[in-house]
Chains A and B, each alone.
Chain A
Amino acid sequence: QKEVEQDPGPLSVPEGAIVSLNCTYSNSAFQYFMWYRQYSRKGPELLMYTYSSGNKEDGRFTAQVDKSSKYISLFIRDSQPSDSATYLCAMSAIDDMRFGAGTRLTVKP
C-alpha cells in the first residue's frame, strides 16, 4: 500500500462546476499538507498549505484536512478552463515530502 493514495482520474467537468479532489494517507506522522497544481511540462505550483485539521480557504480554493480519518480534500468552486491541470496532494512529517500520483482535471468551456 502506498503512503499516499490519490485517484488519478481523469476528471472532466463543465465550466462553473464544483470540483472535489481527494487523497488518503497511511502515515500518522504527516503534519503538513499541501496541494500543488501542475501544468503540462511545468513544475508543480503551490496552491494550498495547511498544518492542522480543518478548512482553509483561498479564493475559489478550499483545502480540508481530517487527520482522524487520514483524508484530505481540495475543493474548487466556479471551475474555469484555466484550472485544467494535474492536481497533486503532498504531505510531510519533518524533512521529506510524499506526493500522490496526481489527478488530471479538465474543465470544459
Chain B
Amino acid sequence: DTGVSQDPRHKITKRGQNVTFRCDPISEHNRLYWYRQTLGQGPEFLTYFQNEAQLEKSRLLSDRFSAERPKGSFSTLEIQRTEQGDSAMYLCASSLSDRGGQPQHFGDGTRLSIL
C-alpha cells in the first residue's frame, strides 16, 4: 500500500497524558498536512510542512500541540496534557510539489479518545 499511513488508528488515554501520532506520507510527496476532524464537521487545518520546514503553525489549536518532520519524511503530532476537548480524529494528508493547490491525499486518521 503506497497511500498515506497513520499510526495508531485509535488511541485511548486519560486526561492529562501526552500522546504522539505518526504519519508516513506518500513517498514522493514533499508536503505534509495535519488536520483535526470532529463529529459532523469537515477537517480543520492545523499545520503543514514542506520537506522538513514547518511553514504554517499559527493554526495549531494551542501551545499544547506541536508537530515535527525532522528528516522531511514521516511526521509526528504531539498533544501534551490532553483535555476532554481534544477527543477527535486527527488526519494527515500529503501532496506533491512546492506550489500551492495540489490535491491532498489523506490517511485514515488516528481517533483519539480522552477518558
Measured CB to CB, the closest approach of chain B to A43, in angstroms, equals: 4
- A44 (CB) vs chain B CBs: closest residue: B106
Instruction: Determine if A43 and B108 form an interchain contact, defined as CB atoms under 8 angstroms apart.
Output: yes
The 7 closest A-B pairs by CB, nearest first: A99-B42, A94-B100, A43-B106, A32-B101, A43-B108, A96-B45, A49-B103
Question: What's the A-B contact tally at a CB cutoff of 8 Å?
Answer: 62
22 contacts between A and B (CB under 8 A): A4-B42, A8-B40, A32-B101, A43-B93, A43-B109, A44-B43, A46-B104, A46-B106, A49-B103, A88-B42, A90-B42, A94-B100, A95-B55, A95-B56, A96-B45, A96-B48, A97-B33, A97-B45, A97-B104, A98-B45, A99-B42, A100-B42
Alpha-carbon separation in the docked complex, A90 to B111 (Å): 22
In this assembly, does A34 line the interface, its C-beta being within 8 Å of a C-beta of chain B? Answer: yes
Measured CA separation A42–B75 after assembly (Å) = 20
Contact A34 B103 (CB under 8 A): yes
Residues of A within 8 A of B107 (CB): 43
Contact of A96 among B4, B56, B103, B105 (CB under 8 A): B56
Using CB atoms, name the residue of chain B closest to A89: B42
A98–B45 alpha-carbon span in the complex (Å)? 7
B71 at the interface (CB under 8 A from A): no
**A101 and B103 contact, CB distance less than 8 A:** no
The answer to whether A82 has its CB under 8 Å from any CB of chain B is: no
Kindly list 20 other residue pairs between chains A and B, CB separation below 8 angstroms, not including A32-B101, A88-B42.
A8-B40, A31-B101, A34-B103, A36-B106, A43-B4, A43-B106, A44-B43, A46-B104, A46-B106, A51-B101, A88-B43, A92-B100, A92-B101, A93-B100, A95-B48, A96-B33, A96-B56, A96-B59, A97-B104, A99-B42
Residue of B nearest to A94 (CB): B100
Please determine whether A101 and B55 come into contact, CB atoms closer than 8 angstroms: no
CA distance A6 to B40 in the complex (A): 12
Most buried by A among B45, B55, B103: B103
